[in-house]
Amino acid sequence: MSVIPDTVAVARASARTRAARDWRDLVYPAVAIAVLLAAWQGASVAGWLRPVQFPPPTRLATSFVELVTEGYPEGIALFTHVAITLQRILLGYAIAVALAVPLGLVVGRSPALDALTDPVASFARSIATLSLLPLAVVWFGTGEAAKVFLIGYGCFWVMFSNVVAAVKSVDPTLVQAARTMDVAGTALFRQVVLPAALPRIFSGARVALGVGFMVIVGAEMIGTIRGLGALIMEARTFYRTDITMVGMAVIGVLGFAIAWGLERLEAKWLPWQARESRRGA
């Protein structure tokens, strides 16, 4: 039978195109960024951009070095800001995921609970998380708890909705197939519903993390001078646009790096799914 050699050939061909795509994946964005930075620098040198509004890339580079070595405000180095911000995001995110996954799994399996919680979830999701900032301060004060709460709130509802949807969208034929194999009850849930829902749960986890990174800047606006959000606000107050921009870029790079890490994790834990989506891409 020629079926199997055929698949091998197909796999080899797709491995080749994948390698070629990986190479382009790196070069194209690099070229795009280089062109943008060069144009920016050129516009600054020509005097078209005011440094206080758009400091040139070279200035941002020296500000970055200043931030790493001396810190801003004086004595609080970039590493400290990053560590504190990451700690807040990951704590709020971890609590949100730890609550949302089990709750979402239960609610997704029960049409009654789903009908009950759906309006609450829709409403809670549509409240802009940062509009809760004043309330968070009233409830938790201006310390760490308020910041972790805001991040957790934003992440929780996104995660919860995705887990519920993941369980509800499990192909009913898979469940039927399992039932024909005498698999029922908790075994059915563990061995069929859960693995079938995992890809969507994972993509929910990625989206929720993005929410955490969006909320952090606002959450760090009050009661602290440490953390990347605080850094941005503080620098803005003193017209250090350069520091604000470096802070923004660091947040972007962090978020990107963590999302990439989650993707690698997904590829490792859900090999069927990662390969499927890579093939589809």
Task: Tell which positions 188-217 bind other proteins, by CB under 8 A.
Answer: 191-192, 195-196, 198
Among the candidate windows 32-40, 57-65, 214-222, 267-275, which touches other proteins by CB under 8 A? Answer: 267-275
**Which is closer to other proteins, CB of 181 or CB of 253?**
181
Using CB under 8 A as the binding rule, whether residue 169 contacts other proteins is answered as no
Rounded to whole angstroms, how far apart are CA atoms 119 and 114? 9
**Which is closer to other proteins, CB of 57 or CB of 199?**
199
53, HSE (Cβ side, Cα atoms, 13 Å): 7
Using CB under 8 A as the binding rule, whether residue 171 contacts other proteins is answered as yes
Using CB under 8 A as the binding rule, whether residue 174 contacts other proteins is answered as yes
Q: Please provide residue 156's backbone torsions phi and psi, each rounded to the nearest 5 degrees.
A: -60, -50
Using CB under 8 A as the binding rule, whether residue 267 contacts other proteins is answered as no
DSSP designation for 130? G
**Which is closer to other proteins, CB of 22 or CB of 182?**
182
**Which is closer to other proteins, CB of 3 or CB of 46?**
3
CB of 27 to other proteins, least distance (A): 29
Using CB under 8 A as the binding rule, whether residue 70 contacts other proteins is answered as no
Give the tokens for residue 247.
């802070």
5, HSE (Cβ side, Cα atoms, 13 Å): 2
CB of 170 to other proteins, least distance (A): 11
Task: Tell which positions 3-62 bind other proteins, by CB under 8 A.
Answer: 3-4, 7, 11
Rounded to whole angstroms, how far apart are CA atoms 255 and 230? 17
Instruction: Look at residues 129, 192, 136 and name the one whose alpha carbon lies nearest to residue 158.
Output: 129
Using CB under 8 A as the binding rule, whether residue 74 contacts other proteins is answered as no
CB of 36 to other proteins, least distance (A): 38
Rounded to whole angstroms, how far apart are CA atoms 105 and 109? 6
DSSP string, 61-95: HHHHHHHHHTTTTTT--HHHHHHHHHHHHHHHHHH
CB of 158 to other proteins, least distance (A): 24
User: Residue 65: which region, alpha, beta or left (left: phi > 0; alpha: psi -120 to 50)?
Assistant: alpha
What residues make contact with other proteins under the rule CB under 8 A?
A: 1, 3-4, 7, 11, 171, 173-174, 176-177, 179-183, 191-192, 195-196, 198, 270-273, 275-276, 279
